[in-house]
């Protein structure tokens, strides 16, 4: 049974001011109702005025996702009553959206490239936010915060081209990444992205899951829905065509009994705004290098693997970081950033921007000069990141190496350790000479312990073997 998924994604654009007034969009740490004016509070008589920057941002997205931009687009009113919607209607776009018919390439579950068609992109304003007194003693009222009212959003609608929750997730990652490359979106802002997903099993009714507000949530909600729908069908039940809400905390979708879905939005053209001749604006819209192009360039310019290039360019900040530290040995840098650093960051739930590129470059220099072993390199990195995670200033790797004496054992010390180990374990030496395979590894392990990882295991193995052969002779 094929799974059929289509997404409607709402993204907040990171303009400095709101879509229809001059209020600042940077409200997240501020008290409620402090980023408001007559327009976004819907005081009687106030009129909307389109923020050109927001239109430009939306056009960037349209262009990057290969959409056909309308000659002229128009705002419409979507009428419904809800206390977070101060005008009693939302200014959005309806039958004359900004752009239609685009395509985004992602990787299908089998690793082959696949095109996801984009139906349309339109602009709209975010409503305010209801705040409920939380905790056990629920208040018998709601509070409204209009700081969010009028934040510019784009809604991106896909065709039902996605075939699994993982594909949906990959599509969203690609989308988010593209939006960040376009510098129109800050995915780390709380509530910056909200997704409605349409999902059906081939031959059965479609269910709409609303209210998904995280990337992980989309995958979870879809996975839950597929299981639920399959179970329904297995039990011989029909799938009800309905709207369900995703409960992020419980990881389940629930049928919404609200009357909302029956709402007739009574769309009509917004008489307070003129249509926008957006195609005329297109010439002035220039795009930066996008993820796919950057990936190709990384392979060509730095000679790194496709996998590394994909990982690195899959996050703009990571790619920027890599380019700062690539230096003389980009292959080494790619391995250390994509494989080691990324894992350590994820483990600590840390962001790449917390790592000073100069520090990391210093570590790469030590590795490249063979001054420390890979294992010591990982240790140094961990020390550094732990300091960062604790809010302390990060030490330079060379300082960590010196402080902990991690410089690679070499010369006399190296020979001495090898000799000591051979001396201290006559049994193992005998085993070796009797041809017991594990004996050499044991001796190398002992030597590694003695140097606390500062020596290269292969080098040690070679040296100990030399000593043993000499002993035999």
Q: Are 423 and 446 within 8 A, CB to CB? A: no
437 forms part of the interface with other proteins (CB under 8 A): no
CB of 257 to other proteins, least distance (A): 14
Helices 316-325 and 357-368 pack at an angle, to 10 degrees, of 50
Q: Which listed residue (4, 50, 410, 440) binds other proteins by CB under 8 A?
A: 50
Among the listed residues 251, 202, 258, the one whose alpha carbon sits nearest the alpha carbon of residue 225: 251
CB of 125 to other proteins, least distance (A): 14
Q: Which residue stretch of 238-246, 270-278, 312-320, 341-349 sits at the interface with other proteins (rule: CB under 8 A)?
A: 270-278
Q: Are 464 and 440 within 8 A, CB to CB? A: yes
Write out the H or E segment, with its range, that includes residue 55: helix 52-64
187 forms part of the interface with other proteins (CB under 8 A): no
Rounded Cα gap, residues 22 and 16, in angstroms: 9
273 forms part of the interface with other proteins (CB under 8 A): yes
CB of 198 to other proteins, least distance (A): 20
Cβ-Cβ contacts under 8 Å for 175 (sequence gap 6 or more): 9, 104, 156
Rounded Cα gap, residues 79 and 83, in angstroms: 13
Rounded Cα gap, residues 69 and 384, in angstroms: 48
Q: For residue 441, which phi and psi values (nearest 5 degrees)?
A: -60, -40
43 forms part of the interface with other proteins (CB under 8 A): yes
* Strand pairing report for 152-158 and 142-145: unpaired
Contact string 54-93 vs other proteins (x = CB under 8 A): -----------------------x-x-x-x--xxxx----
CA distances from 3 to 6, 13, 111, 164, 219 (A): 10, 31, 18, 6, 13
Rounded Cα gap, residues 440 and 444, in angstroms: 6
44 forms part of the interface with other proteins (CB under 8 A): yes
144 forms part of the interface with other proteins (CB under 8 A): yes
CB of 140 to other proteins, least distance (A): 7
Residue number, 81 or 113, with CB nearest to other proteins: 81
CB of 228 to other proteins, least distance (A): 30
- Count of CB atoms situated within 10 Å of the CB of 445: 14
Rounded Cα gap, residues 193 and 215, in angstroms: 8
Q: Which listed residue (140, 391, 435, 437) binds other proteins by CB under 8 A?
A: 140
Q: Which listed residue (16, 26, 28, 38) binds other proteins by CB under 8 A?
A: 38
Rounded Cα gap, residues 170 and 335, in angstroms: 23
Q: Which residue stretch of 152-160, 261-269, 402-410, 419-427 sits at the interface with other proteins (rule: CB under 8 A)?
A: 261-269
DSSP conformation class of 143: E
Q: Which listed residue (28, 216, 266, 449) binds other proteins by CB under 8 A?
A: 266
Rounded Cα gap, residues 450 and 366, in angstroms: 22
- Contact set for other proteins, span 414-433 (CB under 8 A): none
Rounded Cα gap, residues 36 and 181, in angstroms: 30
Residue number, 37 or 467, with CB nearest to other proteins: 37
The encoded tokens of residue 287 equal: 């795009």
CB of 69 to other proteins, least distance (A): 20
Q: Which residue stretch of 44-52, 202-210, 227-235, 395-403 sits at the interface with other proteins (rule: CB under 8 A)?
A: 44-52
Among the listed residues 117, 123, 151, the one whose alpha carbon sits nearest the alpha carbon of residue 56: 123
The encoded tokens of residue 53 equal: 């920057």
CB of 10 to other proteins, least distance (A): 22
Q: Cα dihedral angle (325, 184, 151, 68), rounded to 10 degrees? A: -160
272 forms part of the interface with other proteins (CB under 8 A): yes
264 forms part of the interface with other proteins (CB under 8 A): yes
CB of 234 to other proteins, least distance (A): 36
Question: What's the distance, Cα to Cα, between the start and end of the chain in Å?
Answer: 71
Q: Which listed residue (4, 8, 46, 281) binds other proteins by CB under 8 A?
A: 46
Residue number, 38 or 438, with CB nearest to other proteins: 38
Q: Are 38 and 146 within 8 A, CB to CB? A: no
Residue number, 278 or 448, with CB nearest to other proteins: 278
Residue number, 215 or 267, with CB nearest to other proteins: 267
152 forms part of the interface with other proteins (CB under 8 A): no
Q: Which listed residue (52, 133, 274, 306) binds other proteins by CB under 8 A?
A: 274
Q: Which residue stretch of 41-49, 229-237, 354-362, 443-451 sits at the interface with other proteins (rule: CB under 8 A)?
A: 41-49
26 forms part of the interface with other proteins (CB under 8 A): no
Rounded Cα gap, residues 448 and 455, in angstroms: 7
256 forms part of the interface with other proteins (CB under 8 A): no
34 forms part of the interface with other proteins (CB under 8 A): no
- Ramachandran class of 349: left when φ > 0, alpha when ψ lies in -120 to 50, beta otherwise: left
135 forms part of the interface with other proteins (CB under 8 A): no
Q: Using CB under 8 A as the criterion, which residues of the chain lie in contact with other proteins when the complex forms?
A: 38, 41-50, 77, 79, 81, 83, 86-89, 140-142, 144, 264, 266-268, 271-274
């Amino acid at each position: 049974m094929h799974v059929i998924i289509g997404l409607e994604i709402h993204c907040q654009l990171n303009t400095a001011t709101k879509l229809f007034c001059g209020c600042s969009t940077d409200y997240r740490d501020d008290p409620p109702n402090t980023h408001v004016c007559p327009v976004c509070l819907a005081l009687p008589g106030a009129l909307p005025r389109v923020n050109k920057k927001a239109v430009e941002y939306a056009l960037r997205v349209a262009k990057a996702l290969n959409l056909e931009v309308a000659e002229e687009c128009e705002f419409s009113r979507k009428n419904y009553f809800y206390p977070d919607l101060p005008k009693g209607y939302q200014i959005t776009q309806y039958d004359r959206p900004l752009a239609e018919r685009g395509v985004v390439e992602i990787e299908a579950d089998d690793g082959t490239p696949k095109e996801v068609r984009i139906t349309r992109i339109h602009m709209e304003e975010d409503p305010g936010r209801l705040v409920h007194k939380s905790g056990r003693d629920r208040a018998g009222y709601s509070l409204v915060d209009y700081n969010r009212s009028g934040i510019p959003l784009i809604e991106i609608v896909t065709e039902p081209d996605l075939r699994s929750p993982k594909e949906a997730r990959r599509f969203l990652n690609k989308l988010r990444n593209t939006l960040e490359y376009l510098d129109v979106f800050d995915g780390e802002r709380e509530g910056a992205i909200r997704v409605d997903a349409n999902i059906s099993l081939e031959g059965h009714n479609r269910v709409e899951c609303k209210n998904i507000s995280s990337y992980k949530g989309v995958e979870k909600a879809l996975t839950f829905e597929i299981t639920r729908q399959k179970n329904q069908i297995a039990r011989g039940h029909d799938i009800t065509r309905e709207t369900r809400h995703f409960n992020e905390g419980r990881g389940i979708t629930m049928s919404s009994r609200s009357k909302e879905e029956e709402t007739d939005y009574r769309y009509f053209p917004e008489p307070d705004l003129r249509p926008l001749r957006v195609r005329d604006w297109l010439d002035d819209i220039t795009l930066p290098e996008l993820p796919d192009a950057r990936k190709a360039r990384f392979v060509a310019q730095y000679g790194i693997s496709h996998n590394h290039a994909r990982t690195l360019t899959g996050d703009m900040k990571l790619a920027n970081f890599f380019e700062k530290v690539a230096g003389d040995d980009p292959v080494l840098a790619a391995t250390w950033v994509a494989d080691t650093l990324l894992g350590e960051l994820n483990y600590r739930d840390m962001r790449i921007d917390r790592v000073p590129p100069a520090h990391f470059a210093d570590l790469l220099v030590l590795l490249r000069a063979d001054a420390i072993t890979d294992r010591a390199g990982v240790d140094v990195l961990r020390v550094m990141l732990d300091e960062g995670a604790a809010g302390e200033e990060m030490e330079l790797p060379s300082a960590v190496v010196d402080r902990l004496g991690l410089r690679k054992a070499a010369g006399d010390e190296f020979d001495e350790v090898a000799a000591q180990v051979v001396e201290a374990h006559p049994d193992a030496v005998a085993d070796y000479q009797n041809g017991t395979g594990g004996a050499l590894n044991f001796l190398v392990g002992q030597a590694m312990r003695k140097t606390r990882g500062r020596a290269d295991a292969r080098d040690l193995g070679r040296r100990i073997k030399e000593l043993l052969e000499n002993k035999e002779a």
